[in-house]
Amino acid sequence: MRKTLRWAAVGATVATAGAVLSVTTMAGATTTPAAKPTSLTIRTSSPSVTAGTTEVISGTLATGHTVLANEPVLLDTVDVHGARHKTGLAGATAKNTGLVTFRFIPKATATYELVFPGARGLAPSHSGEAVVKVVKIATKLTATPLAQSIKAGSKATITGILAAGTTPLAGKGVVLYRVNARGHLVARVGRPHITAKATGKVTFTFSPPPTTATYELVFRATPLLAGSKSNTVTVTVK
């Protein structure tokens, strides 16, 4: 009888210990610390850049007043609907400063945002938006007739020079158009011609209609260069 009571007491003690262990384990599972909130700034080296030149976008990642080092940050663009799109550019924050820097050549005007995906107990965050305007390089196109007056049945020649400032632009397509009295383009004359190397010069030789007509050269814009139109020239047919 005494043995039975003794073993019953031992069993109760073990059961109680098991219950205590179970409660302790469950309590530990519910006390996982929450991810710390983070903040991310953004700034640009310039609000606008000339096409083909480098822009610098940077930002600082922190939690409270503490900067975060060696953390991943992505550079995204934001469209007009507020949706983010990856640029494929990624960096890591620097030691002691929490600074991340992106150097790149933007292809067109866009809105950018820095994104921290979160890591090791740190909540994700994103910066505000920064717009970088890309300004295309201005071009100038001039037109000159070889002769302002020709005989009916003869060919006319119009030359042009395309330049950006004082620099001739070679290998660029230029189109010749006939224009009406209001200056509107009404007909393309022949196919586009390519400007010459070193000089940026282009030459059109063609058979004009048997009446006096006015012409204009046109250069269409490219991702880097702004489009331009030449002065008008009139060829009188006698």
Q: What is the pLDDT of residues 24-46, one digit of tens each?
A: 334 445 566 789 999 999 999 99
Distances in whole angstroms, Cα of residue 16 to Cα of each of 13, 26, 30, 132: 5, 16, 22, 68
3-state secondary structure of 158: strand
Asked if residue 113 has pLDDT above 50, the reply is yes
CATH number of domain containing 176 = 2.60.40.1930
Q: Are residues 47 and 117 in the same domain?
A: yes
Amino acid at 64: G
Q: Which helix (H) or strand (E) holds 18?
A: helix 2-29
The answer to the question of residue 160 being in a domain is yes
Contacts of 91 (CB under 8 A, 6+ apart): 72, 73, 75, 100, 101, 102
The residues pairing with 75 across neighbouring beta strands, listed in sequence order, are: 89, 114
Asked if residue 15 has pLDDT above 60, the reply is no
Given a contact cutoff of 8 angstroms between Cβ atoms, the answer to whether 229 and 184 are in contact is no
Contacts of 153 (CB under 8 A, 6+ apart): 210
Asked if residue 227 has pLDDT above 60, the reply is yes
CATH number of domain containing 75 = 2.60.40.10
Please give the residue range of the domain that contains residue 119.
39-135
Q: Are residues 117 and 144 in the same domain?
A: no
Overall number of domains in the chain: 2
Q: Are residues 147 and 115 in the same domain?
A: no
Q: Are residues 152 and 72 in the same domain?
A: no
The answer to the question of residue 84 being in a domain is yes
Single out the residue in 135, 152, 178 at which a domain terminates: 135
Average confidence score pLDDT of the chain = 88
Given a contact cutoff of 8 angstroms between Cβ atoms, the answer to whether 62 and 38 are in contact is yes
- Tell me how far the alpha carbon of residue 99 is from its chain's centroid: 22
The answer to the question of residue 60 being in a domain is yes
Single out the residue in 83, 115, 135 at which a domain terminates: 135
Confidence of residue 22 (pLDDT cuts 50, 70, 90): very low
The answer to the question of residue 33 being in a domain is no
Q: Are residues 46 and 91 in the same domain?
A: yes
101 vs 153, higher pLDDT: 101
For residue 129, report the phi and psi dihedrals to the nearest 5 degrees: -105, 145
pLDDT of 136 reads 95
The answer to the question of residue 182 being in a domain is yes
pLDDT of 31 reads 61
pLDDT of 30 reads 54
The answer to the question of residue 2 being in a domain is no
Asked if residue 213 has pLDDT above 90, the reply is yes
Single out the residue in 84, 111, 135 at which a domain terminates: 135
Q: What percent of the chain has pLDDT over 90?
A: 81
